[in-house]
Amino acid sequence: MRTLDDWLRAQQQVHLRSIDLGLERVGVVAAAMGLLPVPYPTVLVGGTNGKGSVVAWLTEFAAAAGLTTCSFTSPHLRRYTERIQCDRKPVDAARLIRAFERIEAARGDTTLTFFEYNTLAALDIFAAARPDLAVIEVGLGGRLDATNLIDADVAVLVSVGLDHCEWLGDTVEAIGYEKAGIFRRNQPVVLGTADMPSSVRRAIETLDADARWPESDYSFDLDRSEAPGHWSWVGRRWRFDSLPPPALAGRIQRSNAATALAALEALSETRLPALEQRLDANVAAQALGTAVLQGRFQIVAGEPAWILDVAHNPAAARLLARELRDRQNVGATLAVCAMLTDKDVEGIVAALEPVVDRWILAGIDDARGLSATDLRARLPGALPVISICPDVPAACETARRLAQPADRIVVFGSFHTVGPALDWLRL
């Protein structure tokens, strides 16, 4: 019998290209499996940065309101099973294997990419679970991403920035057009920022979508109460006051949580009216205090302290730099950095250079990974690199050996960087 690892290795060999955007092949197999249309309420979450956090907040709020949930995210940090969760728990390997067996029986001569297998497995598992709410993260882009098989009840576009330019285009207008492909006519669309390219605005107008914009359709503000960090959220119909600080660190998490609340408010008007009675300020406060999401400005207290963030494009790097600047440190800041070949290495490092004192570079053992020496070759010669290591665990060991107790060590650059660091730290 094939193990899960056997299945995952085999799936990487089925299609000629690892990334092959389009809905035709995956749609044929989904139809053969009877997976479409989906019978459960869905929220589809797209964007350049912030997707994983918004998915986490959506499932956390829904669960606190007593709803059953399923979610699909990618990539994973440590184990493939993280990608598909029911009631916030990763699906077990046996269930995944059963889904893969069904896909294999249905696909015939149709070839699928690794991600397309993953998407179909999620839909197969969701079909059996019949959750009150399914939250699905877009993989790459939107318009031609396998997840766009779903006509979502609510589409969320968190942000648009430059990333995956080889597949999506080299301007924010082109990327915005691709990401807006998840919108549907007359359906709610929630925007995570007002800073959207005109291509996104045109898509909303063309589809006559019910757009929910921050600051006009929903907003959040810090309370003027004595409780530090407490805040309020106001939507079209809902208002939640005296909310506690989000359990996930970073200023951006209030914005991500606010976006998730706006999506749930929209959903309550269409497919999930039960949310109207179930989700109130107390329930929202409970969820804000319990959310867990590794690798997004994750702070590990100690001497030295560790900060882990998957930032892998310039926009995410700028947010990380802002957080580091806000949290001034007594000691030095050491960076453990490893990246993939298709990333804007120079732009990412330029964003963080002003807040990092010393750099430790590592290689990523993956077909798309940069070796540490190749990474060094793409960076300015004057950058204070103190060590070049073959892999992330070796870089973490070096950082701990060289750091003083008052220092902090920042690990960033990719899911392929933070995942091994979490393993090394045994978190």
Give pLDDT, residue 92. 95
> Would you place residue 318 in the very low, low, confident or very high pLDDT band (cuts 50, 70, 90)?
very high
Q: Residue range 108-137: average pLDDT?
A: 97
CATH 3.90.190.20 given to domain 298-425: yes
* Tens digit of each residue's pLDDT (9 = 90 or more) over 36-72: 999 999 999 999 999 999 999 999 999 999 999 999 9
For residue 203, the surrounding DSSP H or E stretch is helix 198-207
> Would you place residue 339 in the very low, low, confident or very high pLDDT band (cuts 50, 70, 90)?
very high
If phi > 0 it is left, if psi is from -120 to 50 it is alpha, else beta; for residue 12 that is alpha
- Residue 13's SS3 state is helix
Cα gap 250→50, rounded to integer Å = 12
- Per the prediction, the chain carries an average pLDDT of 95
Can you spell out the DSSP letters for 354-415? GG-SEEEEE---STTBPPHHHHHHTS-TTS-EEEEESSHHHHHHHHHHH--TT-EEEEES-H
Q: How many Cα atoms within 13 Å fall on the side-chain side of residue 418? A: 23
DSSP 352: H
In sequence order, the 6+-apart residues with CB closer than 8 A to the CB of 302 are none
What fold is seen in the domain 4-290?
A: UDP-N-acetylmuramoyl-L-alanine:D-glutamate ligase (3.40.1190)
Q: Contact 123/29 with Cβ under 8 angstroms?
A: no
Give pLDDT, residue 225. 61
Decide whether 4-290 matches 298-425 in CATH topology: no
Residue 388 phi, psi (nearest 5): -120, 120
* Tens digit of each residue's pLDDT (9 = 90 or more) over 360-419: 999 998 888 999 999 999 999 999 999 999 999 999 999 999 999 999 999 999 999 999
Q: Residue range 300-329: average pLDDT?
A: 95
Q: Report helix angle 51-64 to 252-268, nearest 10.
A: 50
Residue 20 has pLDDT above 90, yes or no: no
> Would you place residue 329 in the very low, low, confident or very high pLDDT band (cuts 50, 70, 90)?
confident
Q: Residue range 193-212: average pLDDT?
A: 98
Give pLDDT, residue 40. 97
Domain borders along the chain are 4-290, 298-425
Give percent of the chain above pLDDT 70: 99
Residue 271 has pLDDT above 90, yes or no: yes
Q: Is the dihedral of CA 43, 40, 248, 229 positive or negative?
A: positive
Give pLDDT, residue 224. 65
